[in-house]
Amino acid sequence: MRMLLDTNVWSHLSRQGLGEEFYRLIKRRSVNVVTAPASLLELLRTPQGPLRRESVKLIGRSLWTRLPTEAESEVRELVAEVARLRKGWLLSEPLRGRYAALASDWRHGIWRAARRDDASVIDYAKRHAVEARAGISQHQREQSARWRDEGFLRGLADTVACIDGTIGFPRPEDESWFQSQGWRPGTHVEAWRLEALQRIHQGLFMAKRPYAEPTTGSAYADWFETFVDLDAVSAKRAEFGELLLYEMAASAIPRAWMRWALGLVQHAVKKSSGNAVDAQLSTYLYDADLFFTSDKRFQKLLESIYPKSPIPFAVPVYLNPAGNLCSDIEELMEDAVR
C-alpha cells in the first residue's frame, strides 16, 4: 500500500511529537510512504523554526519514497503521448546528463539542504511559485465572478454532476489565440483540455529561460527538453495544441484533468487561500493508494471528483487532528484494506 500524507498531517505529527511512533508504525505495517516535494517546500515555509525543523526531519526520513516533482510527472505524461503520436519530435539521444542533474537536485539535493535547515533552501521555498499561486487565486476570483454573472455557479453536487458533460470552446475574445494554437473553429472539446492547453503552453513556450540550474526558468520546459526537441515543437505549436485538444488520451495525462477538475469544484465551495497549494498537491494522488488529510474541505472535494477521474487516484481519507493520529492512521488503513 502506498500512503501519501497531506502537508498538514506531517505538521500535526511533528507538533504532537509523534514522529518516532509514526515511523515505527510504518515499519511494522510495511507501508510504502510516498513524499511529495510540494509538501517539503510547504513545510519549509513554516515560520516557527523548531516546528519547521522537526517537520522537515520527519518528511525527509530515508525510509520514505521520494516522488518526482509534479512538473516532472506531468511532463513525462506529455512526452509519452508525444512519443505515441509524433515520434519524430523526440530527440534522437535524450539529454541524460541534464535529466540526471535535474533528478539529483530534486530527489536528493533539496532534501539534504532542507534537513540541514539551509537558509538558501528556506528562502527558495518562500519564493517558489509565489507568482503562480497568486495567479491561480486571481484566476479563480475572476472566473467565479464571471460564472456568477452568467448563472453558471452551482452547488457542489450540481458541479460534480456536470463534470463528465462539460464541453468547452473559446470565448469570442480568445478564439483567435486558440485558433493559432490548434483550435478547429466550429468544434468543441472537453473543457479541461482548453485549460490544459493554456497552462502547458505557458510552461513550455512562454516561461522558458536558458537552462542554468533546476530551480530557475520553467520547470516544464527544463524537463520536456531532455526528451523532446523543444525548438521543433515550438515551431509547430498549432500542431502540438491540436494533439492536446483532440488526440491525447485523458487516461494518459490525468494530472492535467485533475488540475481542471479540482479547480472547478473549488468554485462550488467557500474560497480558500490554500486552493493553489491543494491543486499542486492533488497531482501527486496518482502515485498513491491512500491520501490522509486533516482538511475536511479538501477531502470532500477530492471525494466528490474521485468517480470521475480518467484513472483511479489515492482514496482521500479525513484524519481528525485532535485524535490519536497514529492509532487513527492504522485503523483507517485497516478499513481501507477491508
- Grid look-up 479563480 returns 140
With beta carbons less than 8 A apart as the criterion, state whether 126 and 265 touch: no
> Exposure of 251 by Cβ count < 10 A (0-12 exposed, 13-18 middle, 19+ buried)?
exposed
Residues 218-229: pLDDT tens digits?
788 999 999 999
Position 214 scores a pLDDT of 43
Q: Which of 33, 12, 22 is nearest to 289 (CA)?
A: 33
Joined grid coordinates for residue 58 = 520527519
- 29 contacts: CB under 8 Å, gap ≥ 6: 330, 333
- Residue 55 confidence (pLDDT): 97
Q: Does the CA dihedral 115-119-120-122 come out positive or negative?
A: positive
Radius of gyration for the alpha carbons in the chain, expressed in angstroms and rounded = 20
CA distance 105 to 334: 36
Alpha-carbon distance 5 to 69, whole Å? 15
The 10s digit of each residue's pLDDT in 203-243 is 888 765 544 444 445 788 999 999 999 999 999 999 999 99
Cα three-residue angle 257-262-267, rounded to 5 degrees = 130
Q: Could you tell me the pTM of the whole model? A: 0.89
| The total number of structural domains that make up the chain | 1
Find the helix or strand (DSSP H, E) in which 260 lies. Answer: helix 254-266
CA distance linking residue 88 with residue 82, whole number of Å: 9
Q: Are 187 and 174 in contact (CB under 8 A)?
A: no
Sheet of 315-318: strand order equals 65-66, 32-35, 2-5, 290-293, 315-318
Say how far apart CA 8 and CA 140 lie, in whole Å: 23
User: Which stretches of the chain score pLDDT less than 50?
Assistant: 210-216
Q: Which domain holds residue 333?
A: 2-337
